[in-house]
Amino acid sequence: MGFAISSLSYFLDDLNKRNKKGGLGKILTLSRYSIAFSRDDFNRICQNKGFDFAIEDNGDPEGLLYDEQVFRALGFDSVVSMDNSRYEGADIVFDLNSDALPKDMEEKYDYILDGGTLEHVFDFRNSLKLIHKMLKVGGTFIFDLPSAMYDLNHGFYHISPCALYEYFKENKYQINNMVLYFYDIGDVTSNGHYSGGNVGIYELNKSIKDISGRLIKPKVTDVLFMTWGSVIKTSESTYESIPQQNIYSATWENKKTMAERLAKALAQAETKVYLYGTGEHTRWMLKYFPNTHRWKIAGIISPYKDEIGEIFSFGHRILDIAEIERRSTIIISSELYEDVIYDRIKHLEEDCVIVKLYSQM
């Protein structure tokens, strides 16, 4: 796994945010790490971020560093590594797919760092549970994980920042920071253009055995998206809560409330009903319109002259607002522009009932 300049920079930003300058305690790294910067890079970045961390000349002509050297320089008293094998010299051999975590490893670490391990663990949810158990209350989990890789066979998963954010929010972790960033890893020529290359066509139904067994890596993009994050385990934190995607759950609740108001408005409408708006929101409303009240729809109102007279979804004619009958009900069909539309037509309230579905929601 790699610990890059971006990882170092975000980590120092996090320490600055929390006003920590050292004495960080014990860190567990999920695998050993290749350090992707030199001693001079480390010293320069730390100085630029306001830290006096520095690594003295270790005699390497290129200023190469090893992982424990870097983490101790950052203020950790103890550095322990974990992996599924010893081939890179990990201190602890343990499979994060396993549920048999030794008792002496529970609530042991002040920091746990994952710079690219979880995408290789098939039981992703189990690994989050184990990280929770190994982390002390008040401890920090730092991750730097691929969200969109350049090759298909790097790991089991590309991990969406949404999955990480929603999981830690749902499980009552304190989210310090979460950043989506990317590398451009394409081959670039001296004139700034991408160099050519052979294009491989991979038919998974024919070559899946090769892709799994021989580590063939079909390149799908020259951009590598990464999610860096820092979260703190609190006394209320857990690992068991299963999150829903907030963007959808909020929409579900919004649409549910809107549907209830729509049904109420239709039930109260004694005359014809017009929907104001010819966008996707109106198409959605028509699709799920209560069948018992469909006969009340007299047309769709549009402010755009070039749409007047056209036939909208489900055969409804698009009308100019001047064509509507008096004493009718106008339902504004827009979430984003509801107030704007209301201000445009509120003068009609003397003769019509105007319904805003999203106000007071």
pLDDT digits (tens, 9 = 90+) for 8-61: 999 999 999 988 888 899 999 999 999 989 999 999 999 999 999 999 887 777
Residue 258: the pLDDT is: 73
Does residue 23 contact residue 110 with C-beta atoms inside 8 Å? no
In a domain, 138, yes or no: yes
Q: Are residues 278 and 133 in the same domain?
A: no
Same domain, 52 and 188: yes
Alpha-carbon distance of 37 to 73, in angstroms, equals 14
User: What is the model's pLDDT at position 254?
Assistant: 66
Residue 199 in domain: no
Residue 203 lies in a domain: no
pLDDT at 299: 95
Same domain, 118 and 176: yes
Asked if 27 contacts 79 with a C-beta cutoff of 8 angstroms, the reply is yes
Note whether 282 and 231 are same-domain residues. no
Residues 275 and 170 in one domain: no
Write down the pLDDT at residue 72: 95
Confidence at residue 294, expressed as pLDDT on a 0 to 100 scale: 82
- 235 & 274 share domain: no
Q: Identify whether 16 is part of a domain.
A: yes
Name the one residue in this structure whose structure tokens are 């030794």. 102
Judge whether 338 lies within some domain: yes
Domain count, the chain: 2
Specify whether 69 is located in the same domain as 38: yes
59-68, 113-122, 229-238: least confidently modelled range? 59-68
Lookup: tokens for 32: 């050993």
Domain enclosing residue 347, as ranges? 253-356
Asked if residue 209 is part of any domain, the answer here is no
Residue 303: which CATH number? 3.40.50
Residues 116 and 230 in one domain: yes
CA distances, 108 to each of 83, 102, 104, 174, 251 (Å): 17, 11, 8, 19, 40
One domain for residues 46 and 181: yes
With a cut of 70, say whether residue 185 has pLDDT above it.
no
One domain, residues 15 and 106: yes
Q: Comparing 158-162, 220-224, 266-270, which segment has the lowest mean pLDDT?
A: 220-224
Report if residue 200 sits inside a domain: no
Domain contains 210: no
